[in-house]
Chain A
Amino acid sequence: MSFLSLVGVEFKKIKRSKIFVILFIATVILWIPSILNAEMNFNMQAEGISPENNFFIQGFMGMAWFMFPASMVVGTVLLSQTERTNKGILKMLALPISTIKLCLAKFVVLLALAVSQILMMVGMYYISAAIVTATQDYNFILSPIFIFKEISSISISTIPMLAFFWMLSVCIQTPIFSIGIGLASIVPSVLIINTKVWFVYPMSYPFFVITSEYGKLAKNLTTAQVEFFPWIPVAISITIVCLCISCFRFGQVERE
Chain B
Amino acid sequence: MSVSLEYKKVKRTGFIPAFLWGGTLAAVVPVINMAVRSEMYLGQPNSPIQILMGASWQMIAMLNILLVVVGPCLLYHLEFADNAMQKMKSLPIRESSIFLAKFILTSFMCIIVLTTEAISIIFCVSYWFEIGNNFWLELAKNFGYSFLLTLPCVLLSLLIASTFKNMWMSLGIGVVCVFTATMLPTNNFVLSLFPFAIPFQIFVNTETTQAMHYIYAAIIEIVAIGFAEFVFIKVRRSLE
Residues of A within 8 A of B (CB): 17-19, 22, 25-26, 29-30, 33, 62, 66-67, 70-71, 73-75, 77-78, 81, 84-85, 174-177, 179-180, 183-184, 187
Contacts and interface: CB of A to CB of B under 8 A. Distances in A.
Nearest to A37: B185
A187 B62 contact: yes
A71 B59 CA distance: 19
Contact of A176 (B25, B70, B82, B175): B70
Given A66-B182, A70-B175, A74-B172, 16 more contacts: A26-B175, A29-B179, A29-B183, A33-B183, A62-B183, A66-B179, A74-B171, A74-B175, A77-B168, A174-B13, A175-B74, A175-B77, A176-B14, A176-B74, A179-B171, A183-B175
Interface of B is mostly: helix
Contacts of A26: 175-176, 179
Interface residues of B, number: 35
Q: Which 8 A-B pairs have the closest CB atoms?
A: A22-B172, A174-B14, A78-B168, A74-B172, A70-B175, A176-B74, A77-B168, A67-B179
A29 B25 contact: no
18 contacts: A22-B168, A22-B176, A26-B176, A26-B179, A66-B179, A71-B172, A73-B175, A78-B168, A84-B81, A174-B13, A175-B167, A176-B18, A176-B70, A176-B74, A179-B73, A180-B70, A183-B70, A187-B62
B110 to A, nearest CB: 15
B179 A184 contact: no
Contact of A183 (B13, B66, B82, B176): B66
Nearest to A34: B183
Nearest to B77: A175
A22 B25 contact: no
A70 B179 contact: yes
Nearest to A14: B168
A248 to B, nearest CB: 23
A81 B173 CA distance: 16
Nearest to B21: A180
B15 interface: yes
Contacts of B81: 84-85
